[in-house]
Amino acid sequence: MACRAPIVLASALALSACATPARMHSQEQLNTVATGCGLALGELIQDESQKKLLLMIRNEATPQQRVCVAKWARRNGLKAVFVNMNFPEG
């Protein structure tokens, strides 16, 4: 069993080296996804410094909206991050 650990580790490292880097999606693409998931324009963003993260900024998102965004992110090699922001009224 201990002999397998180096093989498993080497395999994992080899596979991670082949992973394609995340690509930046245009704001138009993200807006299309957002509206398709029932969000408003601008509620999905992808930061250039953290290309693998897809940020959904929406207060009280429904479970369906979260699932929709998460599925799209996964299909595109991204990790969905859900941010709740309470803006002051007035």
In the chain, where the domains are located: 21-83
Helix (H) or strand (E) holding 51: none
Can you tell me whether residue 79 is helix, strand or coil? strand
The confidence band for 86, taking pLDDT boundaries of 50, 70 and 90, is confident
Query: With contact defined as beta carbons under 8 Å apart, do 27 and 48 qualify?
Result: no
Helix then strand then coil, in percent of the chain rounded to 5, is: 45, 15, 40
Phi, psi of 86 (to 5 degrees): -100, 115
Report whether pLDDT(82) > 80: yes
Task: Return the number of other C-beta atoms located less than 10 Å from residue 58's C-beta.
Answer: 21
pTM over 0.85: no
pLDDT of residue 22: 74
Segment 13-59, tens digit of pLDDT:
555 445 556 789 999 999 999 999 999 999 999 988 999 999 999 98
